[in-house]
Amino acid sequence: MSIDLYYNKFSGPSRAALMTVRQLNIDINLKQLDLSAGEHMTPEYLAINPNHKVPTLVDGEFVLWESRAIMQYLCNRYAPDSTLYPKDPKKRALVDRSLNFDFSFLAQLSEVMAAKIILGIEPPADKVTAVNGSFKLLDQLIGDNRYITGDNLTIADLSLVTITPYLEQGGIDLNLYPNVQRWADTLRDELPYYEEINIISQAEWDTQVEKYRAIMGAKPE
């Protein structure tokens, strides 16, 4: 039975799902969609995912979208005893809490990064304040832990760490949040697939940004 993952490399949630696949050593077929070309809006893709987002997982006849649900499913289905998504109710609850925090944090960050990277303008001050507050909270949650929820890598780490390429493009200095910086550096150094999945060349970023500016009618500074 084949497994397909529809994704886009510029999508953090897509990269989170892909890292989960790699961490669990699952054999899948990768199907990259060019969102700037509208490939996520074709009738064929909408038949699979009417929410027209990425990633989408197709496991035989089972179709699932939303990255966090995909990550949880992959662990439950293919590695139920893995510490990547622990069985212990309290440990799992901490992972789920981080995933829910990640969902709201990514929404905050997306607004700020879209203004900086695509529109070429300074984001509203209240949006920046909200993002800074979330970074401070994340820094506090990590504390002295090696990973988000303790001593074991989990899908919460894989989901949250995908924000780092956006931060680099948006000029956000993680040195202001030393625990976050240490945690991100740890994952970058120890995950053998990290750079392959998350490092995007400046030329690729520039090309993608220009495509989105054209779509949105935005003008660079």
Give pLDDT, residue 36: 87
Domain 3-78 fold is Glutaredoxin (3.40.30)
- Which residues contact residue 31 at a Cβ distance below 8 angstroms, ignoring those fewer than 6 apart? 4, 5, 6, 7
Give pLDDT, residue 1: 65
- Which residues contact residue 67 at a Cβ distance below 8 angstroms, ignoring those fewer than 6 apart? 13, 14, 16, 17, 55, 159
Give pLDDT, residue 49: 96
Active site residues per annotation = 11
Give pLDDT, residue 119: 79
CATH architecture of the region 89-198: Up-down Bundle (1.20)
- Amino acid identity, residue 186? T
Residues of the chain with pLDDT under 70: 1, 216-221
Domain spans, the chain: 3-78, 89-198
Pairwise CA distance, residues 62 & 114, whole Å:
33
**Beta-strand (E) ranges in 68-185?**
none
For residue range 43-86, list pLDDT tens digits in order. 999 999 999 999 999 999 999 999 999 999 999 999 999 999 99
